[in-house]
Structure 1
Amino acid sequence: MLIARQKKQENIAEYLLYMWQLEDILRSYELDIDKVQQSLIDPVYHTEEEKKEARDWYEGLIMMMKSEGIQKEGHLQINKNLVIDLTDLHLRLLKDPKESAYIGIYYNTLPHIVALRAKSGNKDVSELETCFTALYGYLLLKLQKREISGETQAAIAQITGLLRLLSQKYKAVEEE
């Protein structure tokens, strides 16, 4: 909860990836708030007030996941909406002639996005969602200590640069 709040303020891309990871973590605890309490809340939060606030937050996420039918897979609507907001900003930046740095990074990233979309076979997702999915998959591979090809690492580095700059632009817009 505290991490999510901090990431949301500092780097929206990291926040989204954190929330996707949290969805998977909650699924691993079978959306059981008592298991979440034991593993994620009690070891981290010290005061009863902090524990209650954290429990309420996690319980809210669990209830949303159940009501949206994403107990096994998928993302919360609030996270999907964030991808939509980021996509809207992304498209505005691409149309703005003053955003040559962003446009340049995008066009250097585009071949990687096209290759990822071709591999996934899912053409219905936005380019940015493809980027986030690739980055999330990469993070999972790293957690599993799996070998990652140089080609994949190069693609991830390029995608990370694009999402970092987009996050900075998002933060600037939010602060205005």
Structure 2
Amino acid sequence: MLIADQKKKQNICEYIIYIYQSEELLRAFDFNFEDIKEYVIKHITKLDEQQQEEVIKWHKDLLDVMTKEEVLKEGHCSWAQDEVDNITTLHEQLLANDKEYAKTYKNAEPHINENLKIADGLITNPIQICINGIFGLLLLRTRGRKVDDATKQILDTFGDVLSYLAYKYKAVSEV
């Protein structure tokens, strides 16, 4: 099973972030699949040669979508955005009907609202704010940058929201 398929099945939020990471990987290597295979895919030790080819094909399919949707330089493709929309719908349902989720979200809400203000209308979706925050944290960590404790606490609340959504999404998807 492909890494992407596994993530989509097990944790939809991780799947979205995996797509974001893959888009950034393609951009960082200037869409050169030989270099991606040599410097990235070959170093994923748990993949045999056939699986490596499947991962390359998945990334080529992603590039096709990015090209069609004109997000080669920045932004995210519909594979990710469709899933963000799905979990946003779930978020709205849970907010109205799940007291535990409402409590989890309320804990993150002041930080989400602050980030929505900073986004100045470019991002209006609170769940997108959470995903972007966690993705940003991963980017910082891959670049060896540290995150201060206050920021980490904020991002932990975003992670709590996304974890709850992923858990509920998986439960609903398995029905």
Give the TM-score normalised by the residue count of structure 1. Answer: 0.90
- 1:112-123 map, 5 Å: 112-122=111-121
SS of 2:124's partner is: coil
**Deviations, residues 47-94 of structure 1 (Å, cap 9, x unaligned):** 3x3343233222111111111111111101111010000100100111
Question: 1:143 and 1:33 mapped to 2: Cα distance?
Answer: 21
- 1:11-160 map, 5 Å: 11-44=11-44, 45-47=47-49, 49-96=50-97, 99-122=98-121, 124-160=123-159
Moved over 4 A (4+): none
Task: Give me the CA root mean square deviation.
Answer: 1.7
Question: 1:147 and 1:140 mapped to 2: Cα distance?
Answer: 11
Deviation at 1:165, TM superposition (A): 0.6
Question: 1:122 and 1:147 mapped to 2: Cα distance?
Answer: 28
Question: 1:133 and 1:51 mapped to 2: Cα distance?
Answer: 28
Question: 2:122 and 2:99 mapped to 1: Cα distance?
Answer: 27
Question: 1:105 and 1:153 mapped to 2: Cα distance?
Answer: 16
Q: Which moved more, 1:34-43 or 1:110-119?
A: 34-43
Question: 1:92 and 1:17 mapped to 2: Cα distance?
Answer: 22
**Deviations, residues 86-123 of structure 1 (Å, cap 9, x unaligned):** 10010011111xx1100111111100101111223235
Letter in 2 for 1:113: I
SS of 1:69's partner is: coil
1:31–1:71 contact (8 Å) kept in structure 2 = no
Question: 1:118 and 1:137 mapped to 2: Cα distance?
Answer: 17
Percent identity reads 31
Deviation at 1:13, TM superposition (A): 1.0
Question: 1:105 and 1:146 mapped to 2: Cα distance?
Answer: 28
2:95–2:102 contact (8 Å) kept in structure 1 = yes
Deviation at 1:138, TM superposition (A): 1.5
Give the TM-score normalised by the residue count of structure 2. Answer: 0.90
2:87–2:169 contact (8 Å) kept in structure 1 = yes
* Number of residue pairs aligned between Structure 1 and Structure 2: 173
Letter in 2 for 1:19: I
1:17–1:132 contact (8 Å) kept in structure 2 = yes
CA 1:135 to 1:54, structure 2 compared with 1: closer, same or farther past 3 Å? Answer: closer
